[in-house]
């Protein structure tokens, strides 16, 4: 094995020509296989079986918990989440009644009171719930799970709906990380996507979180929205850098109006061209890295001392349905409408429609809509894709030892494609060790896709987002 090739997972290069050349769509690999491969053949009985396997000690590790809270007061036109628009808070009370049923059933199937190391409330808008409703939900979870003191407990925040008091309340409930939706600070862009949010509202929430002792504040931004220009987004990024969040997520807006109804209210003519989008991304990346943020991967940036940046340097970074994480190798128990979880070698997704979700629980069944059990090949490829997405490196020898295969034989079909990417300068490998080159970091999805057997074997109806 050659030792001359130096490698740092933090180093990256934005190669404009290469990105334009390899432009295309592909999965985000928050799981492998991806959710569009789940089928209705995976039933509630399969999920119950996997939970019981945990009980007999198949996996004694602490779990990650996810609760999907689908309600929003108003609709943001860019949104592709599973949400329900309403102003009626009593709907959340009914939802919590059902969520409580689901949590009890899952906890009973799993057996003893599980330890929880990670929790995430996603949506919708989790803070649509009143302080009392949030407290009720935390009490439901605490009744069935033991929250470890060193755990990571996060919630998504809409600053338009939350004041200082709620932030302090969340800290008292045990939350130690918040993710703040901003998207863009330009008033014209905000109006075009129906999310008008002042800088003051955003600062109120973030200042309160710091005062309340939150370990981490993350800000979500989107590029590719109507009326955005390189200059306008540069102003937003400048203001975000001044706020100095611990993490910044810079997501690419995927305009799929046939799939997501609210996006039909966005006028396609107002969207920036592909060229302008790349200008925006290139400039934003430069601004963030010059301000000292570490490029974690895909669309995530973090301060050098943040847990994600430390995990990247130490080779401990992982990926799950919430994106990059330090606890993604845990089983994830997911609750609520449309929630996706992972238990052992299986994935499961709950009913996507509220009525079907409620009906299943009324009938005394867990609301499983679809899922899959991974075979040996899926597990092998999942570990390879995880290594590429999170460590930007892959030891063929380690894979051979763990999985008992000959890498070159097993992946004979993939190797010529890897060599093509090597010739383009995306990666380097010498027969035993593969490293993603700095200019391949932004195109990591292209590298991962080579190992995606499902993508190769049959066409998917899924519409993936663009890789950049």
**Six token digits for residue 137:** 């939900």
Q: Give per-residue burial for 66-84: e unless 16+ CB within 10 Å, then b.
A: bbbbbbbeeebbbbebbbb
- Residue percentage of the chain with pLDDT more than 90: 74
Share the mean pLDDT of the chain.
91
Give the annotated binding-site residues for S-adenosyl-L-methionine. 66, 78-80, 123-125, 156, 183, 195, 220, 254, 340
Alpha helices in 374-462 (DSSP H): 376-391, 396-403, 407-410, 415-424, 444-449, 453-457
Query: What is the set of domains in the chain, with CATH numbers?
Result: 16-27+375-457 (1.10.10.920), 37-335 (3.30.750.200)
**Six token digits for residue 249:** 């997520």
Q: What does the pLDDT read at residue 467?
A: 60
Q: What does the pLDDT read at residue 117?
A: 94
Decide if 165 contacts 111 (C-beta within 8 A).
no
Mean pLDDT of 30-49: 93
Is residue 194 scored above 80 in pLDDT?
yes
pLDDT band at 459 (very low <50, low <70, confident <90, very high): low
pLDDT band at 1 (very low <50, low <70, confident <90, very high): very low
Mean pLDDT of 15-30: 80
Over the stretch 269-317, which tens digit does the pLDDT of each residue have?
999 998 999 999 999 999 999 999 999 988 899 999 999 999 888 888 8
Whole-structure pTM value: 0.91
Please name which of 106, 151, 97, 67 lies closest in space to residue 327, comparing C-alpha atoms. Answer: 151
42: number of Cβ within 10 Å: 20
Q: Give per-residue burial for 321-356: e unless 16+ CB within 10 Å, then b.
A: bbbbbbbbebbbbbbbbbbbbbbebbbbbbbeebee
Structure-token match 């609709």, residue found: 75
Is residue 329 scored above 80 in pLDDT?
no
What are the angstrom distances between the C-alpha of 425 and each of 41, 60, 103, 409, 437? 42, 42, 48, 24, 7
Over the stretch 229-250, which tens digit does the pLDDT of each residue have?
999 999 999 999 999 999 999 9
88: number of Cβ within 10 Å: 11
Q: What does the pLDDT read at residue 461?
A: 52
- Residue percentage of the chain with pLDDT more than 70: 94
Contact residues for 411 (Cβ-Cβ < 8 A; gap 6+) = 451
- How distant is the alpha carbon of residue 461 from its chain centre? 21
Mean pLDDT of 180-195: 96
Alpha helices in 291-320 (DSSP H): 307-314
Is residue 7 scored above 70 in pLDDT?
no
Q: What does the pLDDT read at residue 112?
A: 79
**Six token digits for residue 371:** 């899922």
pLDDT band at 128 (very low <50, low <70, confident <90, very high): very high
Decide if 178 contacts 243 (C-beta within 8 A).
no
Beta strands 323-325; 318-320: pairing state: antiparallel
On the CB side of 160, how many CA atoms lie within 13 Å of its CA? 16
Please name which of 235, 230, 247, 392 lies closest in space to residue 305, comparing C-alpha atoms. Answer: 247
Strands (E) in 226-309, as ranges, are 247-252, 294-297, 300-302
On the CB side of 138, how many CA atoms lie within 13 Å of its CA? 21
433-436: strand order across its sheet: 393-395, 433-436, 427-429
- DSSP class of 272: P
Over the stretch 424-441, which tens digit does the pLDDT of each residue have?
999 998 878 999 998 898
Residue with the bigger pLDDT between 55 and 348: it is: 348
Q: What does the pLDDT read at residue 462?
A: 59
Give the annotated binding-site residues for [4Fe-4S] cluster. 72, 76, 79
Over the stretch 134-158, which tens digit does the pLDDT of each residue have?
999 999 999 999 999 999 999 999 9
Q: What does the pLDDT read at residue 447?
A: 92
CA distance 290 to 115: 40
Over the stretch 409-421, which tens digit does the pLDDT of each residue have?
999 999 999 999 9
Give the annotated binding-site residues. 66, 72, 76, 78-80, 123-125, 156, 183, 195, 220, 254, 340
CA dihedral 285, 288, 390, 178 (to 10 degrees): -130
């Amino acid at each position: 094995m050659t030792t001359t090739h130096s490698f740092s997972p933090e180093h990256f290069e934005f190669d404009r020509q290469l990105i334009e050349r390899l432009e295309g769509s592909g999965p985000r690999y928050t799981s492998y296989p991806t959710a569009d491969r789940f089928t209705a053949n995976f039933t509630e009985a399969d999920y119950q079986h996997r939970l019981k396997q945990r009980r007999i000690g198949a996996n004694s590790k602490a779990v990650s918990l996810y609760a999907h809270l689908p309600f929003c007061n108003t609709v943001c036109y860019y949104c592709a989440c599973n949400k329900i628009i309403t102003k009626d808070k009593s709907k959340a009370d009914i939802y919590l009644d059902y969520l409580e049923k689901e949590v009890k059933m899952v906890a009973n199937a799993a057996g003893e009171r599980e330890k929880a190391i990670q929790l995430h409330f996603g949506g919708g808008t989790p803070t649509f719930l009143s302080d009392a409703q949030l407290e009720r939900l935390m009490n439901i979870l605490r009744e069935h799970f033991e929250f470890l003191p060193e755990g990571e407990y996060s919630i998504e925040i809409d600053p338009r709906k939350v004041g200082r008091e709620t932030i302090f309340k969340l800290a008292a409930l045990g939350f130690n990380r918040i993710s703040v939706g901003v998207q863009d600070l330009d008033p014209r862009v905000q109006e075009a996507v129906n999310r008008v949010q002042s800088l003051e509202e955003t600062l109120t929430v973030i200042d309160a979180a710091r005062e309340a002792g939150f370990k981490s504040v993350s800000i979500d931004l989107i590029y590719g929205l109507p009326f955005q220009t390189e200059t306008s987004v540069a102003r937003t990024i400048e203001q975000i850098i001044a706020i100095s969040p611990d993490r910044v997520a810079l997501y690419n807006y995927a305009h799929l109006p046939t799939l997501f109804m609210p996006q039909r209210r966005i006028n396609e003519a107002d969207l920036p061209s592909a060229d302008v989008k790349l200008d925006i991304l290139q400039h934003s990346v430069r601004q963030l890295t010059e301000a000292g943020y570490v490029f974690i991967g895909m669309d995530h940036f973090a301060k050098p001392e943040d847990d994600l940046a430390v995990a990247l340097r130490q080779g401990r970074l992982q990926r799950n349905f919430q994106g990059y994480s330090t606890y993604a190798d845990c089983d994830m128990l997911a609750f609520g409408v449309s929630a996706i979880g992972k238990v052992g070698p299986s994935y499961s997704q709950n009913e996507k429609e509220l009525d079907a979700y409620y009906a299943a629980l009324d009938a005394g069944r867990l609301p499983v809509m679809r899922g899959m059990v991974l075979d040996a090949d899926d597990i092998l490829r999942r570990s390879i894709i995880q290594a590429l997405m999170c460590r930007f490196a892959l030891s063929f020898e380690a894979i051979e030892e763990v999985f008992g295969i000959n890498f070159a034989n097993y992946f004979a079909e993939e190797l010529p494609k890897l060599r093509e990417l090597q010739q383009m300068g995306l990666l380097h490998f010498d027969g035993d060790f593969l490293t993603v080159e700095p200019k391949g970091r932004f195109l990591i999805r292209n590298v991962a896709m080579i190992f995606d057997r499902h993508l190769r074997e049959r066409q998917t109806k899924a519409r993936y987002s663009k890789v950049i």
